[in-house]
Amino acid sequence: MSPQATDPAAPVPHELIGALASTFNDMGGPSHAKIDDAINAAGLAVPVNPGNKSNKVRAAFGLARPAQARALVEQLVHVIRDNGYYDLPAYENSLRRAQAAVALAGGTLSDQGFLSWGTPTSGAATAAVPTPAAHATPTPTPTPTPTPTPAANPAEITFVRPGTQRLALPTHERLLSVLRRLPASLKPLVRDRRVDQDALRMSNEYDLQDAVEFALRLIYDDVRPEERGPSVAGGSTTPDFLLPEVQTAVEVKVTKPGRRNNQIRDEILVDSTTYLAHPQVNRLVFVVYDLSGTIDNPPGFERDLGEPINGHRRDTLVVDWPHAQP
């Protein structure tokens, strides 16, 4: 059982706050009045001038003590469920994300949208370990006879062309370094091209995904661009790239005018719980290429979203984009 399941004073994880707030992104989810009722029912005052509904939810959690924050989770789940935003199959992706985030807080959320704190435990039987008899004579372990290694037959040696051998796996820090250095490596293609050569334009998330795939294939043998699932609240059900050899998911984000920092933050929080459900993912890497220069505190953004999640390592990079678009 999670420690948070037995401690009502434990703070609500950021991932759960993000999952709830993402329900209201882009004017989605129940109305402002419904949110206000939930905030008041949790014993909190409605934040003044918070902006959109998603920001109102986040601001309310920012004002809450741990016990109030849990009460607010319960009230928001109640409002979302009763207004049909966890209905299956229409809102399955939203429900699954919420279920994963609730589990981080030590609770469960049923397929019908009912929340309970505390994860039931099953009493698994423990097999008895036989105790050796007091006067038993230990059986000696035979010493294996070494098997001589036959000399290589020159006729059996296969010639391997240089540059075709399987790649040695890079360290995780090497992966992060490659992702940070991507803008510099693209400079010959996006700026100062040779005479009569058009510069490549990197203007959206798809352009950067292609560039990241190119870079990953230089250092990994097995790079799997995941088939995109339905988009919910700006997020996706699968990461952009899966690296099975190192059990790592890589997700690419791109800033653009009008796309708020909080929106990208919420996407990362929600995606974190979703991608860890993948059977081949044990580590998460989010890289945000700041094409529009809208992230004003990159170190803080990286630190807040770079903490481990549920015992798994998570890295978030904010990478400046120095190339003016043609």
How buried is 4 (Cβ within 10 angstroms: 0-12 exposed, 13-18 middle, 19+ buried)?
buried
Report the alpha-carbon distance of residue 164 to residue 246 in Å, rounded: 21
User: Which pLDDT score is estimated for 227?
Assistant: 52
pLDDT for res 8: 65
pLDDT value, residue 220:
92
Name the token pair of 216. 């990953």
Instruction: Please list the ranges in the chain whose pLDDT falls under 70.
Output: 1-8, 119-165, 167, 193, 227-237, 324-326
Q: What is the pLDDT of residue 168?
A: 79
**Would you state the pLDDT for residue 72?**
92
What is the rounded CA–CA span in Å between residue 303 and residue 284? Answer: 14
What's residue 139's pLDDT?
55
What predicted TM-score, i.e. pTM, was given to this entire model? 0.59
Q: What span, in angstroms and rounded, lies between the C-alpha atoms of 182 and 60? A: 38
Angle at 278 between CA 275 and CA 282, to 5 degrees: 80
**With respect to CATH, is domain 172-320 assigned 3.40.91?**
yes
Rounded Cα gap, residues 116 and 110, in angstroms: 9
Cα separation, 183 vs 289, whole angstroms: 9
End-to-end CA distance of the chain: 55
Under 8 Å CB-to-CB from 275, ≥6 apart: which residues?
238, 239, 249, 251, 281, 284
Three-state SS across the chain? CCHHHHCCCCCCCHHHHHHHHHCCHHHCCCCHHHHHHHHHHCCCCCCCCCCCHHHHHHHHHHHCCHHHHHHHHHHHHHHHHHCCCCCCCCCHHHHHHHHHHHHHCCEEECCCCCEEECCCCCCCCCCCCCCCCCCCCCCCCCCCCCCCCCCCCHHHCCCCCCCCCCCCCCCHHHHHHHHHHHHHHCHHHHCCCCCCCCCCCCCCHHHHHHHHHHHHHHHCCCCEECCCCCCECCECCCCCEEEHHHCEEEEEEECCCCCCHHHHHHHHHHHHHHHCCCCCCCEEEEEEEECCCCCCCHHHHHHHCCCCECCEEEEEEEEECCCCCC
Question: Residue 304: what pLDDT?
Answer: 92
Which residues fall within 8 angstroms of residue 186, CB to CB, at 6 or more apart? Answer: 200, 202, 211, 323
Task: Label residue 260 exposed, middle or buried (CB < 10 Å: 0-12, 13-18, 19+).
Answer: middle
The amino acid at 149? T
Phi first, then psi: give them for residue 263, nearest 5 degrees.
Answer: -65, -45
